[in-house]
Chains A and B, each alone.
Chain A
């Protein structure tokens, strides 16, 4: 144990995307490692979110080719300035080559310091988690579209397995027969080129405690939605309110001047501090629009999410989506009426039919926030806000080839809330209190 963790002092590079992407969706990676008996193992790790991870492992032992399926749960944490990311294997079973012997699931652990030094993970199959005998894996790499062959996938999956068919689509080996294109059958949806995706991100990137996590979320949201717009053929327009522009007047000016078209999609995402007045009745939080701790909280520096929702909704876009990743806890001050009112990188491996349903065939409004009244919302400076990370994971998951069911916004936002709840649970974040997001949706779908 001491030895393999001590190697963390010497760590460099490759893992950085693993953990920065560690809480992101739909990564498929290959891990090669050697067992204590010299057997070479090749694992195909499919990561959707912390609760939905599996690995197919192929190896030859006793002259027999074998494939094992193992489910994983991810645990992240920090102890005394050292961070860890642990993949705990469970339910290991043979897919092929079963000779009646049990297969102990392999566990994997990454450790790194706050300074961001990374290296390859270590692995052990000890059922009691005794990592004394853990060995460092030989390689770890993300698999990319266009570089994975059918025969490679077949070394992990049977040809009739749904995961195999999904993987073929994911890696572009399956011809997509129904690409997203301007629809002619639905009068309510115009040609894609006439649809604009407006992404409004209001992020408190300058504040000392959560600024870095807000920056990460802003970057990931922009990248993801830009990718989706490209795939669907929608025009993409982004509006970023951040740094010294992170003020109520800037947000109000933006919203007042905002004029989406009747077929457009609007996605508003808030990442910053949030709170409730002690005498507040609204269920949704006040958005704290101060970038400096020198500015006092008042009605002039905050706005309720419902006010943003109603303002944008009245502009008449086809689809309006509102997400606020912030606390919803009592600030200890009653509202006083003011005298004057003033690199997750997108991989573009999306199921285009699902994208079409979510962004082109949908109409209505959705509002959601990260925490129920009285609750706080959590963020990690390495990964971003738990809710925003979960939102991106759920979006990826909802439009993934790996999902067999239909895409819809209610399922997406429910998974977002569930994901943030899980990330803030004691089993995953010992310092957190559980956050339970809320939402309201009135979205219908055309054909």
Chain B
């Protein structure tokens, strides 16, 4: 049964490629597009919840409303691996999602020519979720789940990171 289903899903997967030209853009694809032209990524520890503009404090840096703490430094190889993992649309699922509350831990500032081209806010498992803010201006984010076993969390949330 398992083999049969694998064969079927393989067949379906093959067919999906033919549909790629006509489907609408998903948040994961928008992220992939933003990463493709990005020249750097900066990872920051952030507060668990965003702060509304009127309550934001001077002297505190906010990314899409999230108060930013320390920058998380990554090695050059980890940054490359992170970009690859984030560009993999299988890392995210915007349709099938967990019914748990997101409490943010990290934000990734996607930078292009010295400006923010987008921000990805992340929470770790067991409630792995992501919010994608396209562009630098505040706007409603697209919500996605981090798929279990994704390649992003080991790079960002592993012990000692």
Residues in A lying within 8 Å of B, measured CB to CB: 1-2, 4-6, 8-9, 75, 77-84, 86, 88, 109, 111, 113-115, 128-131, 208-210, 213, 271-275, 288, 290, 293-297, 325-327, 329-333, 370, 374, 376-382, 385, 427, 429, 431-433
Contacts and interface: CB of A to CB of B under 8 A. Distances in A.
Which 3 residue pairs are nearest across A and B when measured between Cβ atoms?
Answer: A5-B15, A327-B100, A209-B143
A115 B97 contact: no
B48 interface: yes
A78 B99 contact: no
Interface in B83-134: 89, 93-103, 126-127, 129, 131
B19 A6 contact: yes
Interface in B12-28: 12-26
Interface stretch (B2-10, B33-41, B74-82): B2-10
Contact of B23 (A82, A297, A333, A382): A82
A129 B4 contact: yes
Given A208-B141, A327-B127, A294 B51 contact: yes
B13 A1 contact: no
B49 A115 contact: no
B99 A325 contact: yes
Given A5-B15, A209-B102, A80 B93 contact: no
A294 B15 CA distance: 42
A79 B99 CA distance: 21
B127 A376 contact: yes
Given A129-B7, A293-B102, A332-B103, A80 B89 contact: yes
Contacts of A274: 99-100
A296 B49 contact: yes
Nearest to A271: B99
A338 B9 CA distance: 51
A115 B24 contact: yes
Nearest to B26: A81
Contacts of B9: 77, 79
Q: How large is the interface on B (under 10, 10 to 19, 20 to 34, 35 or more residues)?
A: 35 or more
Contacts, number: 171
Contacts of A385: 99
Interface of B: 2, 4-5, 7-9, 11-26, 29, 48-52, 65, 89, 93-103, 126-127, 129, 131, 140-145, 147-148
Residue from A6, A80, A290, A374 having most chain B Cβ neighbours under 10 A: A80
Given A79-B13, A329-B126, A275 B19 contact: no
B23 A433 contact: no
Contacts of B50: 293-294
B100 A128 contact: no
A56 B16 CA distance: 30
Given A114-B26, A130-B11, A327 B99 contact: yes
A213 B97 CA distance: 10
Given A83-B95, A295-B49, A109 B102 contact: no
B96 A378 contact: yes
Contact of B19 (A5, A208, A380, A432): A5
Contacts of A376: 98-100, 126-127
Given A1-B14, A377-B99, A431 B93 contact: yes
Contacts of B22: 8-9, 113
Contacts of B15: 1-2, 4-6, 111, 131
B19 A210 contact: no
B19 A113 contact: yes
A378 B97 contact: yes
Given A9-B19, A296-B49, A79 B126 contact: no
Contact of B140 (A77, A208, A296, A327): A208
Given A5-B15, A79-B12, A275-B100, A113 B23 contact: yes
Nearest to B104: A293
B126 to A, nearest CB: 4
A6 B15 CA distance: 7
